[in-house]
């Protein structure tokens, strides 16, 4: 469903990617890990067609993002949901209006249909009863849930989550991950979850890819990464395993 072939990208002479290749099969969920600044957000933006490859190709459902005509790129974006890092909502809109926004922008659904769809999606993420509150009136976890509902409301086939748990306490973070997992079971989207908190997502992803030095440094099932003897992978994954064991 998603295929990245030999992707190169620099910003102001600073090389971020030097030959990234990665595949995500239909219905699969991949965790994308790596140090801060290694290019995880930049990679998601290439998949979403928000950034163009300097060299290499990004193919989504058989279409090359770079060469796609503007119309097919727009059509592709409609099938894609993006939970941006920070997951910001529009502060001036209540949760209902925030979730309704993509439907009003992208579809010609009637107000009645939109209302039904938005209330359903807010219910799915456990926000029934808070529809008409503003982002400043609810907790960080609820803001994240609403952002998730907004990303999911168009029934995307592809979901990109950029650090969905960052900034949340562990209990709330885990609840968000469980919610993502439940949504995946229901919708069976193809997904990429960018995260620092590897231990949290290892239970729900099919595969993990680690970005390092501009390439996919390591890739495999969570178990395979845990078992890796590569010191770079161990520095990332081993520490978490140790922590988990310590917590019993
Ligand atoms: N629009 C941009 N302009 C210039 N540099 C950028 C831009 N977006 C990202 N970068 C740089 O690319 C690198 C990777 O960034 P990013 O993908 O945000 O890292 P992370 O893995 O933490 O998500 C960083 O060095 C960042 O400063
Ligand atoms: Mg990032």
| Residues 6 or more apart whose Cβ sits within 8 Å of residue 29 | 184, 190, 191, 192, 193, 204, 205, 206
How confident is the model at residue 87, as a pLDDT? 66
pLDDT of residue 240: 52
CA of 144 to the centre of ligand 2 (A): 16
Half-sphere exposure of 199 (CA within 13 A, CB side): 13
Atom of ligand 1 nearest to the CA of 38: 21
CA distance 209 to 211: 7
- The CATH code of domain 2-79+157-246 reads 3.40.50.300
Rounded distance from Cα 38 to ligand 1 centre (Å):
7
Residue closest by Cα to atom 26 of ligand 1: 37
Nearest ligand for residue 163 CA: 2
pTM beyond 0.95: the answer is: no
pLDDT of residue 220: 95
What is the rounded CA–CA span in Å between residue 238 and residue 197?
12
Q: What is the pLDDT of residue 236?
A: 84
* Cβ neighbours, 10 Å, residue 204: 18
User: Domain limits of the chain?
Assistant: 2-79+157-246, 89-155
Which residue, by CA, sits nearest to atom 18 of ligand 1?
41
Provide residues with CB under 6 Å of ligand 1: 11, 16, 34, 36-42
The set of residues, in sequence order, having a beta carbon less than 8 Å from that of 147 and lying 6+ positions away, is: 83, 84, 87, 88, 89, 98
Q: Which residues surround ligand 2, an ion (CB under 5 A)?
A: 40-41, 85
Determine which residue's CA is closest to atom 7 belonging to ligand 1: 11
> Residue 174: enclosing H or E segment and its boundaries?
helix 170-187
Q: Helix, strand or coil for residue 244?
A: helix
Q: Between the CA of residue 22 and those of 59, 148, 231, what are the distances in Å?
A: 10, 25, 22
Q: Specify the residue with its C-alpha closest to ligand 1, atom 10.
A: 11
* Ligand 1 geometric centre to CA of 92 (Å): 28
Q: What distance in angstroms lies between residue 36's CA and the mean position of ligand 2's atoms?
A: 7
Residue 147 CB-half CA count within 13 A: 25
Distance 229 CA to ligand 1 centre (A): 28
Q: What is the pLDDT along the chain (248 residues), one digit of tens a residue?
A: 999 999 999 999 999 999 999 999 999 999 999 999 999 999 999 999 889 899 999 999 888 876 666 777 777 878 899 998 876 799 999 999 999 999 998 888 999 999 999 999 999 999 999 999 999 999 988 999 999 999 999 889 999 999 999 888 888 889 899 999 999 999 999 999 999 778 889 899 999 999 999 999 999 999 999 899 999 999 888 755 444 444 43
pLDDT at 239: 59
């Amino acid at each position: 469903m998603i295929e990245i072939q030999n992707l190169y990208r620099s910003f102001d002479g600073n090389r971020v990617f030097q030959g990234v290749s990665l595949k995500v099969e239909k219905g699969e969920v991949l965790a994308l890990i790596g140090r801060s600044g290694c290019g995880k957000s930049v990679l998601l933006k290439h998949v979403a067609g928000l950034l163009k490859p300097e060299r290499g190709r990004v193919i989504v459902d058989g279409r090359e993002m770079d060469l796609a005509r503007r119309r097919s790129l727009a059509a592709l974006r409609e099938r894609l949901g993006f939970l941006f890092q920070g997951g910001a909502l529009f502060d001036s809109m209540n949760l209902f209006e925030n979730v309704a926004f993509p439907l009003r922008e992208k579809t010609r659904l009637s107000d009645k249909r939109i209302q039904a769809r938005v209330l359903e999606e807010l219910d799915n993420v456990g926000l029934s009863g808070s529809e008409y509150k503003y982002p400043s009136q609810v907790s960080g976890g609820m803001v994240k849930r609403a952002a998730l509902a907004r990303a999911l409301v168009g029934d995307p086939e592809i979901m990109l989550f950029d650090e969905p748990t960052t900034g949340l306490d562990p209990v709330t973070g885990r609840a968000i991950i469980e919610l993502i997992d439940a949504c995946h079971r229901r919708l069976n989207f193809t997904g990429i979850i960018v995260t620092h908190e590897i231990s949290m997502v290892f239970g729900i992803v099919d595969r993990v890819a680690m970005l390092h030095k501009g390439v996919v440094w390591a890739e495999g099932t969570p178990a395979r990464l845990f078992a890796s003897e590569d010191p770079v992978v161990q520095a990332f994954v081993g520490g978490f395993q140790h922590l988990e064991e310590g917590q019993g």
